[in-house]
Structure 1
């Protein structure tokens, strides 16, 4: 994907944002974990915990990030055999990013659930500043004038090892879309 190109440094990365933050290991009484492995551990060993979360907004590293994280934390809650999550986002370009943010975090919820022997439940998406840029208004108007299609079903392979998921583990059933030939630039 090239979505981050506008914020990439000379090495083609966005520095210490997103994945870098998730991959940093911390020491716990149970051992050393990065944030993803900590979530997986707690879902299996402490599912009633109110501390199952990730946080990618690390103030001490902001100056080394190409972009401060927009979607910055997830909090997980297990109720019975169902995993629910809250995604917190400080800022959302509704035209260019909302569709894939919702899809990627819904997929992530499903992945965590399957890897933990749980059912995927609700994803609540909290956006502090949801916006449409002035230069995108005409495109948004053209999009919302179209008759919407029913939502497709995301089908995910039954994989129990979180790290065995690939892009081929996901398919969309009954996905329909309208033609849209416009190039929408991300606002920076």
Structure 2
């Protein structure tokens, strides 16, 4: 994952300090692009340990059109908890519950989860029901029937619904390209990228999405191309990224899918990460 370490170094060297919505402050650089060759291995970060099952569960959650954190939390995926919790804190039911207590209520009280675990019309809604359009089904159909099209695009950005979302989409649009040799490339445009916490997840998630779509369409996954608008390192992550760039990357792992099910029926246990070696976890606080 030398490409990712180069990304960190570029922002550290050329970024500017900026105030931001979270009040944490960032070192930001606008207009970044990296290319990850999926034929050389699966681009899961090795300079710190990444919880791969969280990436799998989140992607399957998107593909099912779900927008409530209940499924994620019940599968020990807590990457979305802060946003509905902040909304819950403003409600009359708050009563000083900690975020851990909030999580337990999401797990144990389905009605509570329905009310307070909802994120609004975020990725899953837009992917599977964008004003009545199932973008993922259409994408797969078009890749199979018109591979040379330049319209293999899925958008998560619906301006009419932004104010109804707990967090407007950071990874806003992706496009696919089929080569004459039957290889599949996926390009993501991400308006905002948290280089330390979020971007490693985004790289792995969209690389996995490319693999799943290629499998569905009987193509060969090739490149994941990652374009970021505002790529930033939060000021409270500077120590962590400086530690990361001192670590030597290990060989990349591989993905094995042990199921014949289609992309919409896959389960997390069907997607196996093999030969993953990494440096230890580096923790950092999410800016909300």
TM-score by length of 2: 0.60
Native 8 Å contact 1:89 1:127 kept in 2: yes
Pairing 1:28-107 to 2, within 5 Å after superposition:
33-80=133-180, 81-107=182-208
Structure 1: give runs of 5+ residues left out of the alignment. Answer: 28-32
Partner of 1:16: 121
Q: How many residues align?
A: 182
1:170 aligns with 2:275: no
Deviating above 4 A after TM superposition, structure 1's stretches of 4 or more consecutive aligned residues are none
State the Cα distance separating 1:25 from its structure 2 match. Answer: 5.3
State the Cα distance separating 1:17 from its structure 2 match. Answer: 1.2
Q: Distance in 1 between matches of 2:144 and 2:131?
A: 18
Q: Distance in 1 between matches of 2:78 and 2:135?
A: 25
Structure 2: give runs of 5+ residues left out of the alignment. Answer: 1-76, 89-115
Instruction: Give SS of 1:111's match.
Output: helix
Q: Distance in 2 between matches of 1:16 and 1:48?
A: 31
Query: Can you list the C-alpha shifts for 1:60-115, whole angstroms capped at 9, x where unaligned?
Result: 00010111100011111111211111111001001111111111111111111111
User: Which is bigger in relative contact order (C-alpha 8 A, separation at least 6)?
Assistant: 2
Native 8 Å contact 2:188 2:226 kept in 1: yes
Deviates more, 1:54-63 or 1:150-159: 150-159
Instruction: Give SS of 1:91's match.
Output: strand
Larger helix proportion of the pair:
2
Instruction: Give SS of 2:280's match.
Output: coil
Going from structure 1 to structure 2, the CA distance change for 1:91 and 1:61 (only over 3 Å counts) comes to: same
Partner of 1:2: 78
Going from structure 1 to structure 2, the CA distance change for 1:62 and 1:25 (only over 3 Å counts) comes to: closer
Deviates more, 1:141-150 or 1:39-48: 141-150
TM-score by length of 1: 0.89
Q: Distance in 2 between matches of 1:34 and 1:64?
A: 20
Partner of 2:102: none
RMSD, matched Cα: 1.7
